[in-house]
A and B are shown apart, each in its own frame.
Chain A
Amino acid sequence: MQLLLVYFIWWSVFQHQQEVFGYTTASIVTYILVAALLRAVVLGTRVTDLIDKINSGDVANFLVKPIGFIRFYVTREVADKLFNIIFFIAEVSLLIFLLKPPLIIQTEFANLLLFSLAIAGGLIINFCLNFIISLTAFWVENSWGPIFLMSILLESLGGGLFPIDILPKALFNILMLTPFPYLIYFPAKLYLGGMSFSEIAFGFSVIFIWGVILIFLTKAVLHAGFRHFSAVGN
């Protein structure tokens, strides 16, 4: 539904123009479809149900058992993503079949490799961000607010609705230092190709640094959370 909406907005923009913000009809349509794929694969997480588990005290059931806490959630996340991808393929096949839009099919191996690498980085960042915020439930009574706020940030600043390089240059440069654009915008751009080597190198460096910081933070917060845990509700 959201995919259709975004698709038709851009469709009407391109009714009278061949090129907008340096994007052609084919490249913007491809961007939108790839972004939708990335939303299904990268965004969207079920880690957040940890919040309810912590609030109700059910998380205790886990803590007494020999289960790797992070490993459990990573495994479930992967299963969930596979599920999402199946639905995505069905949805997009239907769309392509009905609307027959112009598309760019990337065949360059290097681009596809970089695209996959960026997705892997995005997955780690998204998982850690959601996990850390969910873990705050150990301290505060309601963590859904921050989760909601972050999902909006990820959607908009991450490039789910539009490619963020159409924003003013200064804002764009600042955004590229945050983790958000690396979930959708950056991999989608890699798929389209045409980025310079320095842009790509810069992007992966930022992913790497954020990845390290967030993984470290996740472990630290988890550890602190266990210490603070009071196993409420008997």
Chain B
Amino acid sequence: MRKYLTLARMQARSVLAYRLNFVLSLFALMFQLFAMLAIWGVMLGSGRNLNGFDWGHMRAYLLVGFVCGALVSQGADFRMAGRIQDGMVAVDLTKPVDYQRARFAEVVGGAWTELATALLVCAGVLLLSGPVPWPGVPDLALFALSLVAVLPLKFLIVYMSGLVCFYTQNYLGVHWARLIIVSLFAGALVPLSFFPHWLQYLAAVLPFASMSATPALIFVGQLHGGKALALIAVQFVWVVALWLLARLIWRHAITRVTIHGG
């Protein structure tokens, strides 16, 4: 356990070496947030209410989505993909650590900058656009629990897409495909209740809603008590299932390792 803590601590320091890169990549997410705020601002202006969302709730929903989007966005997958493609993975494979746990430790270590910056942006938005409705203490506790599950879930999706590099030598396409699928089915841009029914069913059986919609809906008060707990349970079931699935993929991927150039 100590070695994974050390890996996390190291990554927490390493991310600071690329401050500028970090801030720039967050800009992209921020523009997306501002664009969505502008669109919903027009649609929900003058006290309108759509599918149970008024302007205040929608801002809260989008901000939670933004925080979830910022988590594990700092190129953990690109680091992994790069190391697989240029053969540095050879070095990782000679260390006495479990590859998946080690990568997770690094993501946890790097998460603090992502979280801190995302919260800063949220504070800025709240300052400019006024306060949002705030949930009561029990819902806030549920929200926190749900947010905790987002980190391993996002890690696993990112990790598995990184593993694809053992099969294909180009990562960029995988990355973009993942970003689009995740932000659509996670309901980070448009709440899932706005989707046509068949798409809602599809989203319900995919793990992506657990990565953003669940905590966001708890925060805005559309999920309470037992229903919220059930969906949080679903989140953790996904964590376990995807963790095992990632292990299976890894076991196969590792037989495919070819290291070029010495």
Do chains A and B interact in one complex? no
